[in-house]
Structure 1
């Protein structure tokens, strides 16, 4: 964690700082779902609604089992329909989105696009015709690694077009030091960049480390998230193979393309008896209450909600030394950082916290304190509201 960069400070109450704003939150993916951006949009929409603002959510119609329009958490959700035709369908979605924004150009005070994908580029393109201020959130998990802001693509015409569109946003929300520095290196003006992290609802995560209903007396290590290769879970299994089954058990919660593969690997290595794969968890707080240690062995992250939630639950963190993780985990204070892909370093860090309960408890207390100081929902909502209003001034 870079102590010189304060991503969020203070814990203001959820209240209006001025007249109510009309806010449109745009998510470029399934809504609702358990993805990081989608979870943040849902959390923010409820908080903005509670604070007295008028909030709407817009997303593409990716799941045809969902209606085109519905209300979730007392917030209207609209899904844009488009034909599922290769290339043409995506182009028609972007055109539909542009026309939708233009037809409602006077309807909002702030439009906040979560993740800089093609919808964000379209929003930037039509920005001059909108009354609303436009904020684009840069997660860093995708945009700079094969996404529309990848520096390796700088010579390509599409990269230049997308960058030109994104630069037209009034404000770019950077959720980590990495995303901020990448945009500065690409020439984005400092005055348009705001370091505002993902938020955590502290009420959902009481400090009950290890106090939930437990299967046995062994230490409980937990991972929650998408079960994909980028999460480094095969490295985790390699490390876990070298940790005695008598010492701890592991839960890998979530769904993804790697889940069946990991279950097979665990069986082949004879460690499946002390590893559980429960799939998607509806109540993450209940699972974290049974845990003693949280592990995040990813190769790439933005600012992982799962780590923030584990810290809010008062858990020590074992994580890879990558952007996002480094913004919230200070090695030796609230967790242990290891090189990505280093099986032995991951094993040693886990073994250390499994063996030293006092160290784990101390780090867990610091984890909760960091969240309360910097990442609470009121703090983040206050910063976003100020950014919306400031860009309109």
Structure 2
């Protein structure tokens, strides 16, 4: 069976659907064909189609398929290749109104060069492409696990054996070879948004951008002694690498927040200055400006110096840019919003008997406003507007026990009434099971939570542009959030969700009720969320921008 999947980008791809229709009509294609046609206007005459599929339908069609024909989107291609399918990728072109530019030509060329797909540059070549895939064995998908292993191997060679990283021997300076980038940040086991961003950068295959990425973690969650020792060892590794005559990075990418994170990363920055290696500072921590204002003058001097001396300062939005420029006008800021990899599925309205799941995902600290969320859920229950809504709180943090106690006292947990004790989790049909604490999740568990939820809520008092919000809209989720930071870039009030003021429990409750009670509104919001994610936050452009920041930093340092 041939499965055509065009995603949910708000652009038509009539040209591809029509070309396949003609091949079926002429007998060139004899096997069954099914298309997920998205926003295309053309309706195939000789094979079945449906505009959008829910998660289960999509998975079933993908499993059934022998060949997948898709557009040149990274998520669509990788999703099919990971499933072991033979993939024909056809680029959307701007001249036909299929996209805003022709970047898919480059993406398909890169995937073709990897030997994992058949690239079909024009629909007129579809017959030849189908013949090729039927007689060609493509390489299996190579995850970034191998790249990470090679990075570790390169580190061992450079620091223990004194050799260069794999693939870098006898190449002289960075001209004519891939750019060597050292990234510094939290250990992958640390929970939070910084780790999510680092994970995205580590998971990306940089080969097509001419970049070799190596990572050294500088922070772990542990007792003060172990954290200090861990950082000391990491700093020694960074120093040896910067001093190496054969494996020195061309640029260092430093992820930084405030408080202890600044103290650690300032030392890394000074090492970069000492050894003449340009560094790119990647700002995180929505309360950085507030923390700066409370610092002593000597510390403020160091903060301004670091911002001024860095080759580039990556900020996550225009508000971030204004805050950093207010601290240090000479900072060479680059606005690069967080990004998200487009999943192959979108969320759906719950079936009969299923709860309407509203997901909160984040660290459980006061700034996140989860206490307000619990008050809003209780308000909905007390006014008879809760319906089948169930709020799933995914996260851990300093406020976790306090929030669980509050939910229990409000009678929101399974088997409890106001003032009762009870368990933290329960089935949707249990008395009082309006809230579930799911703990911290990542990887497959995190994806499963997104896939089975209907909407995201984030009632924070301070944010930048959280990865969780971008992940949510990539699944087509409507979002209820507070109007803080650069949230409005991803949540357009009245179009794909609602923005309320921090601490306004009544407005928060009303927004949740509006989304959960109107299926037509929900589905309209869902389509806008997915289209916005694909248009503004798809990771392909993000990685090209970051690679450009690296190259500019190196060029200006010469």
Secondary structure of 2:225's counterpart equals coil
8 A Cα contact 1:240 1:347, kept in partner: yes
Distance in 2, Cα, partners of 1:258 & 1:350: 23
Q: Does 1:206 align with 2:345?
A: yes
Q: Does 1:46 align with 2:203?
A: yes
- Among 318, 323, 348, the alignment partner of 2:485 is 323
Q: Which runs of 5+ in 1 are unaligned?
A: 1-8, 65-81
Which residue in the other structure is 1:143 paired with? 288
Distance in 2, Cα, partners of 1:118 & 1:93: 16
8 A Cα contact 1:138 1:174, kept in partner: yes
Which residue in the other structure is 1:235 paired with? 372
8 A Cα contact 1:94 1:119, kept in partner: no
Which runs of structure 2 are paired with 1:335-350 in the superposition (5 Å)? 335-350=497-512
Which residue in the other structure is 2:325 paired with? 184
Q: Which runs of 5+ in 2 are unaligned?
A: 1-99, 114-175, 414-432
8 A Cα contact 2:394 2:441, kept in partner: yes
8 A Cα contact 1:170 1:391, kept in partner: yes
Which residue in the other structure is 1:76 paired with? none
Cα drift, residue 388 of structure 1: 0.9
Which residue in the other structure is 1:111 paired with? 252
8 A Cα contact 2:347 2:454, kept in partner: no
CA deviation vs aligned residue, 1:178-214 (integer Å, no higher than 9, x gap): 2101122223336x211111121113x5223346xx7
CA deviation vs aligned residue, 1:161-186 (integer Å, no higher than 9, x gap): 23212321100001111210112222
Secondary structure of 2:288's counterpart equals coil
Count of residue pairs brought into register by the alignment: 357
8 A Cα contact 1:133 1:388, kept in partner: no
C-alpha RMSD over aligned residues: 2.9
More helix by percentage: 2
Highest CA radius of gyration, 1 or 2?
Answer: 2
- Among 374, 386, 404, the alignment partner of 1:263 is 404
Which residue in the other structure is 2:438 paired with? 278
8 A Cα contact 2:349 2:522, kept in partner: no
Distance in 1, Cα, partners of 2:536 & 2:264: 29
Q: If the length of structure 1 is used for normalisation, what is the TM-score?
A: 0.81
8 A Cα contact 1:197 1:375, kept in partner: yes
Cα drift, residue 98 of structure 1: 6.8
Farther-moved stretch of structure 1 (352-361 vs 235-244)? 352-361
Secondary structure of 1:242's counterpart equals helix
Q: Does 1:289 align with 2:451?
A: yes
8 A Cα contact 2:370 2:459, kept in partner: yes
Secondary structure of 1:173's counterpart equals strand
8 A Cα contact 2:217 2:234, kept in partner: no
Distance in 2, Cα, partners of 1:40 & 1:139: 10
Distance in 2, Cα, partners of 1:311 & 1:83: 38
CA deviation vs aligned residue, 1:90-117 (integer Å, no higher than 9, x gap): 9957964773454248611221111242
Distance in 2, Cα, partners of 1:235 & 1:161: 37
8 A Cα contact 2:483 2:500, kept in partner: yes
CA deviation vs aligned residue, 1:335-385 (integer Å, no higher than 9, x gap): 100001111111111111111221121112111112111211211100000
Secondary structure of 1:280's counterpart equals coil
CA deviation vs aligned residue, 1:213-264 (integer Å, no higher than 9, x gap): x793332211111122111000000000011343311111111222222222
Secondary structure of 1:123's counterpart equals helix
Give the direction of change, closer, same or farther, for the CA distance of 1:329–1:83 in structure 2 (3 Å limit): closer
Distance in 1, Cα, partners of 2:269 & 2:286: 21
Distance in 1, Cα, partners of 2:239 & 2:287: 26
Q: Does 1:221 align with 2:361?
A: no
Secondary structure of 1:167's counterpart equals helix
Distance in 1, Cα, partners of 2:303 & 2:238: 15
Cα drift, residue 301 of structure 1: 1.5
Distance in 2, Cα, partners of 1:217 & 1:136: 45
Distance in 2, Cα, partners of 1:151 & 1:56: 34
8 A Cα contact 1:231 1:298, kept in partner: yes
8 A Cα contact 2:242 2:248, kept in partner: no
8 A Cα contact 1:98 1:122, kept in partner: no
Q: If the length of structure 2 is used for normalisation, what is the TM-score?
A: 0.59
8 A Cα contact 2:254 2:282, kept in partner: yes
- Among 115, 126, 134, the alignment partner of 2:271 is 126
8 A Cα contact 1:316 1:364, kept in partner: yes
Distance in 1, Cα, partners of 2:233 & 2:319: 31
Which residue in the other structure is 2:548 paired with? 386
Which residue in the other structure is 1:359 paired with? 521
Secondary structure of 1:34's counterpart equals coil
Cα drift, residue 131 of structure 1: 5.1
Distance in 1, Cα, partners of 2:356 & 2:404: 21
Secondary structure of 1:162's counterpart equals helix
Q: Does 1:195 align with 2:335?
A: yes
Distance in 2, Cα, partners of 1:344 & 1:381: 40
